[in-house]
Structure 1
Amino acid sequence: MGTDATPTDAEAACFEAGIKFGSLYHQFAGAPISPDSAPSLARAMEESIENQPHCTAVTVDVDTEALASAVASSSADYTELTGRFLEVEIVIDYEDREVVARMEMEDGYPLMRLASVRDVRRDGA
């Protein structure tokens, strides 16, 4: 190989964001959720993912109107958690790079994407 294959700090930070989203989504998808349990499940998701390396903040917002509608049309008092009920923001701080990634519904699909990648050097350089 004639090229340097070492990832940049920005690329590594983006990779970390992807790992966090994969963990968040696949760890909690399918969990029983109701309008009453939504706030505590959102907090559990945030706190769980914030434990991971380089993760400085996680915000999970549950679309309680969509959730209540799904529960109302069900024979149970709860439904399964899916991406259609969630808006998520994850902030990664890796070396001198900050990555913000978001998951939002787009055309009926929970799309995860990079919102920003920026240099946050703290040494004044």
Structure 2
Amino acid sequence: MTTDSEMDTASPTDAETACFEAGIKFGALYHQFAGTPVSPASAASLERAIEDAIENQPHCESVSVAILTDELDAAIDHGYTELTGRFMEVELVVEFEKNRVTARMAMEEGYPRMRIASVEALD
């Protein structure tokens, strides 16, 4: 077990904190909106709602959500379906203490994979 004094000497870097913040945004995005009823007709407004909600969080500079309407349409058999990671591509940008992290979510081997795309120091 790590003591508080041991944790103090291993404080995360600002870049690591920015990456953590990106993970927090993805956790909120996915678990807040997964299961939302969606159809091709409502996809654009849901994209905007997700973007607006996540951009409210601290250090979030931008969020871009694309609901894949072709895949969505193929999955619908009764007017709508539930939103899951297989129907979304997401990019978000977090800035924290002169660090910018870009993170993306897309399907990878049947799983909605969320990963860090880049970490850059800002001047």
TM-score, normalized by length of structure 1?
0.91
The aligned counterpart of 2:23 is 18
Residue 55 of structure 2: aligned partner: 50
Please state how far the C-alpha of 1:4 moved relative to its aligned partner.
2.2
CA RMSD, 1 decimal: 1.2
Any stretches of 5+ residues in structure 2 without a counterpart? 1-5
Deviation string for 1:35-94 (max 9, x for gaps)? 0000000000000000000000000001110000001xx2x2000000000000010000
Q: Structure 1: which 5+ runs fail to align?
A: none
For 1:82, the equivalent position in structure 2 comes to 84
Match status 1:39 vs 2:44 = yes
Question: Given the two structures, how large is their TM-score scaled by the length of structure 2?
Answer: 0.93
**Aligned amino acid, residue 65 of structure 1:** D
Equivalent residue, structure 1, for 2:112: 110
- How much does 1:6 deviate? 0.7
Q: 2-side partners of 1:3 and 1:28: how far apart?
A: 35
The residue type paired with residue 68 of structure 2 is D
| 4+ aligned runs moved over 4 Å, structure 1 | none
C-alpha change, 1:41 and 1:3, in structure 2 (3 Å) is: closer
Instruction: State the aligned residue count.
Output: 118
- After TM superposition, give the deviation of residue 2 of structure 1 in Å: 9.3
Cα distance in 1 for partners of 2:113, 2:24 equals 15
Q: Which of 94, 99, 102 is the matching residue for 1:92? A: 94
- 1:59 equivalent in structure 2: 64
Q: Helix, strand or coil for the counterpart of 2:16? A: helix
